[in-house]
Amino acid sequence: MPQKPRSIHPDDAQDERLAALDLETAFTYAYLPTVLDDEGRAKDAPAVLNGFLWPLRADAHPTAAMERDLAALDEAGLVCRYEVAGRPYLHDPRWKTRHKLVRPTPSTLPPCPEHEKSFDEVVTETVGRIAEGVTAAVEVAGSRIDQKRISDSLARLVEDVTYLVDPEKAVVNGQKVRKMFQRKNGEVEDTGPEPGALAGETE
């Protein structure tokens, strides 16, 4: 369990999503940071959480009430419940903006695949969407020269952005962008996704 101080964010009192929920659910949300780790995550175990958050009121607030609270908070977008390898977890999607911890302890729980994507994952998805859009537009124009020029420009953009985070991966990531376009054009054999869309994902 986390030992570092937790506080209630002053904006919570004006949060319309929280105000729309009943008081028990609002109290659960207020108590929840005390059981989240330093990255805002916890195992999604209603019985265990209820024991920590409502220890002296277990009769009035049983496990079923905690399950109801978590479901309502998830539906309101105040918490996110997710699964990794078939195991349930939850986290506060706004944790980093709500809590500024000094020397936080890294979480031992897996990150949320929806809200906590790595830099490489975000770049990969963004580049993939851009590549598909650019390819479609160029195909309409019917100019492969323009497509090569655009793919080179996009690759250089990815190299520049990656260089700011990890210079050693910049060139490799640029080459992967060019390959994306080549596959779409049938210039190289598509043997399936490479292990890691961008350099470093498997490290």
What pLDDT band is residue 42 in, cutting at 50, 70 and 90? very high
Predicted confidence (pLDDT) per residue in 56-96, tens digit: 999 999 999 999 999 999 999 999 999 999 999 999 999 98
DSSP code of residue 194: -
| Beta-bridge partner residues of 42 | 90
What percentage of the chain reaches a pLDDT higher than 90?
42
Q: What is the mean pLDDT of residues 10-20?
A: 91
Nearest Cα to 25, choosing from 75, 77, 69, 71? 69
Q: What is the pLDDT of residues 126-175, one digit of tens each?
A: 555 555 555 555 555 555 556 667 777 777 777 776 665 567 676 777 77
Give the residue-averaged pLDDT of 22-38.
95
**Stretch 20-49: mean pLDDT:** 95
Instruction: Compute the mean pLDDT over every residue in the chain, rounded to the nearest whole number.
Output: 78
How far apart are the C-alpha atoms of 28 and 71, rounded to whole Å? 12
pTM of the model: 0.58
